[in-house]
Amino acid sequence: MNTLTKLALPALIAAMSMQSQAATTATQVQQAFPTLDVFNPAGDQIAGMKQHLARQIAKQLPTIGAQLQAQMSQYRLQVPLSSNQASGALAQQLQSATDYTRTLKGLPSSSQSLYQLRLADASMLERWQNGDDVLVAFAPKGDDKSWLHVEAYDQQGNTHLLDARTLPKQPVLVVEIDGRQSMKEGLAVMQSVFDSRFERGLGKTQSLQAEIQSDAQPISTSVLKRIRLNDDEEPWILGAAEVYGVVTGVNPSRDEPVLDIVDMPYLDHDGRDYTPNQIIIHWDRYRWQAADMLLMEQDDNTNYQTLATTFLDIVTQVMRAIPDPNVQGYAIIPQLTNQLIKAMPSSWFTNDDDYVDVFYTLFEGQQYTDYMGASGNAKISLSPLTINPR
């Protein structure tokens, strides 16, 4: 066996194992959801599972409704949907939906539920507690701009069509993926993929974060002081956004790209100013003291493993096509970012979109106040900050 084969064999075995696991999960989910077509796009499959779960949960509301009410308050409108809260076929369906959704989204296996029930608006809680009937709904698939109605179910399994743009007065529970949990796990997967690729190139085993922390020199950073997303008037059923950043640039010591993930768990609503005081760029990581930042939004279609690998492959290919990066200088960084945006499927620019906005050529040590993104969807204020080690 030659050296190349030896190196490729573990990756091949891992890929075969993942394919086998995915096939097993698909078989199990078809048993739980007989009408589900596992050959449809991931978003369609997830919407199909949510529709089925919404109908079944609505029928079980006489049994589980009081428990759900007890777990909710005006400060907590969502509760996790786990197989422990249900019985019979619904319990199996919830477990199968979580397992299969993890496969579709490239997330590790876990007993942690990925689905939740959310009361559509805080104003509905008192009416529900006072005895108003509650419906159970789910977000349709496709472009939200084309939605006219939202399908919901009552306790008898009857279908109700709700106006997609007008918040209903009747209490409505929404079956959805727990975006915060999904994104938390997904961003860890993405950063792990990035770090793994770069560490192989470096011949190191320590993480990039450990590399930063081990440096005894002052650390130059940029801090996100304020951020605002434009009010996009999304349908009421979609709930809070889940936004994160991808910082792109070039390694200071090698002609290789650098990608870093920035989680923004606080950024959950548009049309509102947030003041996180969050460090978003470690400048020791980037050549020319310049970097770009993409803002992305997680959605039901996102496969984090595939997304991270695709991003890495794209920026690596772009770098290899540039004979001498130092000749062009920091002008090559927007080339990396533009290729990432061009590679995004057209569906990402509809409701299935991940792309929010992009900030080109941010410089170390520079103050940015109410700085608009290239697409006009986001506005940020950045301040330089030097952190001195003890």
Letter string b/e over residues 28-41, b meaning 16 or more CB atoms within 10 A of that residue's CB: ebeebbeebebeee
- The last residue of one of the domains, among 153, 177, 201, is 177
pLDDT of residue 234: 73
Is 143 in the same domain as 212? no
Does some domain include residue 226?
yes
Give the Cα separation of 314 and 246 in Å (integer).
14
Of the pLDDT bands very low, low, confident and very high (cuts 50, 70, 90), residue 173 is very high
pLDDT, greater one: 237 or 331:
237
Residue 163's nearest CA partner among 127, 141, 137 is 137
Is 131 in the same domain as 220? no
Does some domain include residue 140?
yes
Average the pLDDT over 261-274 and give the result. Answer: 88
1-5, 115-119, 210-214, range with the lowest pLDDT: 1-5
pLDDT of residue 20: 44
Average pLDDT score over the chain: 81
pLDDT, greater one: 112 or 21:
112
Model pTM above 0.95: no
Give the pair of three-digit tokens for residue 104: 């579709």
Coil vs helix vs strand at 248: strand
Q: For residue range 41-95, list pLDDT tens digits in order.
A: 788 888 888 999 999 999 988 888 888 888 988 889 989 887 556 666 778 888 8
Give the Cα separation of 97 and 32 in Å (integer).
8
Is 208 in the same domain as 321? yes
Does some domain include residue 19?
no
Is 96 in the same domain as 202? no
The residue type at 196: S
Distance of CA 39 to the CA centre of its chain: 23
Is 49 in the same domain as 84? yes
Does some domain include residue 2?
no
Is 244 in the same domain as 169? no
Distance of CA 188 to the CA centre of its chain: 11
- The last residue of one of the domains, among 131, 147, 177, is 177
9-23, 49-63, 97-111, 310-324, range with the lowest pLDDT: 9-23
Is 197 in the same domain as 101? no
Give the Cα separation of 74 and 66 in Å (integer).
16
Does some domain include residue 9?
no
Does residue 390 register a pLDDT over 90?
no
- Tell me which residue range forms the domain holding 42: 29-177
Of the pLDDT bands very low, low, confident and very high (cuts 50, 70, 90), residue 207 is very low
Is 212 in the same domain as 149? no
Average the pLDDT over 129-155 and give the result. Answer: 89
Is 350 in the same domain as 296? yes
Of the pLDDT bands very low, low, confident and very high (cuts 50, 70, 90), residue 206 is very low
pLDDT of residue 13: 37
Residues 6+ apart with CB under 8 A from 331: none
Is 152 in the same domain as 290? no
Instruction: Tell me the angle at which helices 42-59 and 61-71 cross, rounded to the nearest 10 degrees.
Output: 100
Does some domain include residue 363?
yes
* Overall domain count for the chain: 2
Average the pLDDT over 369-388 and give the result. Answer: 93
Percent of the chain with pLDDT over 90: 31
Does some domain include residue 7?
no
Does some domain include residue 254?
yes
- The last residue of one of the domains, among 177, 203, 238, is 177
Is 100 in the same domain as 213? no
pLDDT, greater one: 351 or 244:
244
Token pair 């080109």 in the structure block, residue: 360
- In a 10 Å sphere around its CB, with 0-12 CB exposed, 13-18 middle and 19+ buried, how is residue 103 labelled? buried
Q: DSSP strand E in the chain: where?
A: 78-81, 115-119, 135-138, 149-153, 159-163, 172-177, 219-229, 243-250, 257-264, 273-274, 278-282, 290-297, 355-363, 368-372, 378-387
Is 188 in the same domain as 255? yes
Does residue 18 register a pLDDT over 60?
no
